[in-house]
């Protein structure tokens, strides 16, 4: 199977967890897009759900699918969020933000009773960090914020050169909230909780891509089929 086939398998399994009347968070990214498409199909076949998208990209797809949407101002507590991940470990600690939606993704996940991760099996790792860690920052004082991030990673023993994310045309990448993203090529993060705490103390940092204590389960699709981590059911 191709990587897309594996992502679709994981997404469809997660869609089976959605029941009538749920308030649902819709994730962002290539795997989450398969989930949104499947939910759209179910909605057209009579499923009743109310959804909150985690990005403008997801909002546009959900609207095309005919999925009813609200904001967290309308519905501040959700039953379930299903989203992808750039990396996850056996403790369901995640790195997210490769698509640039980490702030909204974390807000929606935190507002949910459950968060389920969907991914192809290659995203599961023994130790987080091979995927560069995204950090969302405000534009004001960018140089000072970048310097502070460099000091943090150096202090906890990570050799990395954080850099501002650019688009394919060389422009500064902007999130849906109008912020910048700094990517940290950590290589290996031995203490994700420590790094998360340290990054959160830096003025100018809006949010980081370490999702710790948010996911309760994961549906992964490997070459041998679907397998699950953590708690998938209600």
Q: Which of 65, 105, 136, 198 is catalytic?
A: 105
Judge residue 121's burial from the number of C-beta atoms within 10 Å of its C-beta, 0-12 exposed, 13-18 middle, 19 or more buried. middle
DSSP character at residue 100: S
- Asked if 58 and 32 count as a contact pair (C-beta separation under 8 A), the reply is yes
Q: Indicate if 87 belongs to the active site.
A: no
Q: What share of the chain is helix, strand, coil (3-state, %, to 5)?
A: 30, 25, 45
- Asked if 172 and 180 count as a contact pair (C-beta separation under 8 A), the reply is yes
Looking at the DSSP assignment, which residues form a beta bridge with residue 228?
219
Q: Are strands 210-211 and 94-95 parallel, antiparallel or unpaired?
A: antiparallel
Looking at the DSSP assignment, which residues form a beta bridge with residue 226?
221
What is the number of residues in the chain? 234
Q: How many CB atoms lie within 10 A of CB 2?
A: 8
Q: Give residue 151's Cα distance to chain centre.
A: 26
Q: Is 134 helix (H, G, I), strand (E, B) or coil?
A: strand
Looking at the DSSP assignment, which residues form a beta bridge with residue 217?
116, 230
Catalytic residue annotation: 105
């Amino acid at each position: 199977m191709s990587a897309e086939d594996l992502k679709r398998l994981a997404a469809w399994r997660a869609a089976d967890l959605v029941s009538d009347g749920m308030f649902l968070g819709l994730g962002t990214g290539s795997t989450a897009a398969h989930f949104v498409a499947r939910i759209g199909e179910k909605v057209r076949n009579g499923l009743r759900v109310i959804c909150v998208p985690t990005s403008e990209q997801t909002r546009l797809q959900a609207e095309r699918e005919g999925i009813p949407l609200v904001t967290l101002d309308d519905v501040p507590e959700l039953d379930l969020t299903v989203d992808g991940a750039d990396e996850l470990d056996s403790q369901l600690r995640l790195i997210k933000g490769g698509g640039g939606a980490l702030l909204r993704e974390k807000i929606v996940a935190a507002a949910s009773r459950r968060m389920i991760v969907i991914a192809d099996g290659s995203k599961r790792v023994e130790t987080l960090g091979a995927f560069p860690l995204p950090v969302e920052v405000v534009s004001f004082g960018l140089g000072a914020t970048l310097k502070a991030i460099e000091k943090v990673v150096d202090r906890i023993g990570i050799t990395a050169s954080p850099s501002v994310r650019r688009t394919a045309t060389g422009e500064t990448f902007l999130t849906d909230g109008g912020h910048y993203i700094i990517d940290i090529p950590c290589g290996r993060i031995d203490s994700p909780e420590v790094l998360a705490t340290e990054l959160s103390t830096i003025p100018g940092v809006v949010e980081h891509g370490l999702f710790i204590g948010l996911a309760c389960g994961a549906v992964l699709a490997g070459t041998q089929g679907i397998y699950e981590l953590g708690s998938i059911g209600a």
